[in-house]
Chain A
Amino acid sequence: AQTVTQSQPEMSVQEAETVTLSCTYDTSESDYYLFWYKQPPSRQMILVIRQEAYKQQNATENRFSVNFQKAAKSFSLKISDSQLGDAAMYFCASYRQGGSEKLVFGKGTKLTVNP
């Protein structure tokens, strides 16, 4: 079974600074995808960034980037130049290609951005 672990229930960062959110996962498969989703107070979750396991290059999306350490099964999210609008719950998730058609989510990290 897939498991995703987020060990930081809460994090805070000063506006304009950088913060890293941690995630570890456990899958025995070689073909899988990893994701970070953001859930603002409106409750609607949106995809922040996606990483294919077969790609060695870390994914980046503007101020968001990941540090994908396949051997360590680690997948952290780095937010640069943090903005007030980044305040939200962040969920790490995994999807196993060819397995059950569902995303498995971690318990989330609540990010607070201080002005």
Chain B
Amino acid sequence: GAGVSQSPSNKVTEKGKDVELRCDPISGHTALYWYRQSLGQGLEFLIYFQGNSAPDKSGLPSDRFSAERTGGSVSTLTIQRTQQEDSAVYLCASSPLRLNTGELFFGEGSRLTVL
């Protein structure tokens, strides 16, 4: 497809399990972002990739969170030993190069529910 694709769309897991969320950005977009959207909290920045490197990981909430990007394309966000407070919608976005125009292209998100 032409847009940013995220999977799974919805994920329900038990506390303590690991989860992987996948993002497939728009072809040719070198910048990729992960945001977390919790109820009533807006969008919280998690991590930014430029190509395969992550210049800014400052938003990752704890060492249970990690992300990687391979081939300058697909990215995976991994949450280990999930907690109930990890329940949120995880949004991925991409942009062509640098954010000089400010337009991010978003996927539909992955809704994570931790029981």
User: Please, which residue of chain B has its CB at the minimum distance from the CB of A42?
Assistant: B108
A12 interface hit (Cβ, 8 Å): no
Shortest beta-carbon distance from B98 to chain A in Å:
6
Shortest beta-carbon distance from B7 to chain A in Å:
14
User: Please, which residue of chain B has its CB at the minimum distance from the CB of A6?
Assistant: B42
**Does A45 lie within 8 Å of B106, measured CB to CB?**
yes
Q: Which A residues touch B55, using CB under 8 A?
A: 101
A103–B100 CA distance with the chains assembled, in angstroms: 11
**Does A105 lie within 8 Å of B33, measured CB to CB?**
no
**Does A101 lie within 8 Å of B102, measured CB to CB?**
no
The A interface, classified by DSSP as helix, strand, loop or mixed, is loop
**Does B91 lie within 8 Å of A45, measured CB to CB?**
yes
Could you tell me which residues of chain B, from 11 to 43, have a CB within 8 Å of some CB in chain A? Answer: 31, 33, 35, 40-43
User: Please, which residue of chain A has its CB at the minimum distance from the CB of B98?
Assistant: A101
A113 interface hit (Cβ, 8 Å): no
User: Please, which residue of chain A has its CB at the minimum distance from the CB of B9?
Assistant: A43
**Does A100 lie within 8 Å of B56, measured CB to CB?**
yes
A62 interface hit (Cβ, 8 Å): no
A97 interface hit (Cβ, 8 Å): yes
Report if A101-B31 is in contact (Cβ < 8 Å); known contacts: A95-B99, A107-B41: yes
Among B45, B107, B109, the residue within 8 A (CB) of A102 is B45
0/1 interface trace, chain B 35-78, chain A, CB 8 Å (1 if under): 10000111101001010000110100000000000000000000
A33–B33 CA distance with the chains assembled, in angstroms: 18
Shortest beta-carbon distance from A7 to chain B in Å:
13
What residues make up the interface of B, taking CB atoms closer than 8 Å to A? 3, 31, 33, 35, 40-43, 45, 48, 50, 55-56, 58, 89, 91, 93, 98-104, 106-109, 111
Task: Known pairs A95-B102, A103-B45; list 5 more (Cβ under 8 Å).
Answer: A50-B102, A93-B102, A101-B48, A103-B43, A105-B43
Listed A/B pairs (6) with beta-carbon separation below 8 Å: A45-B91, A45-B106, A47-B102, A101-B98, A103-B104, A107-B40
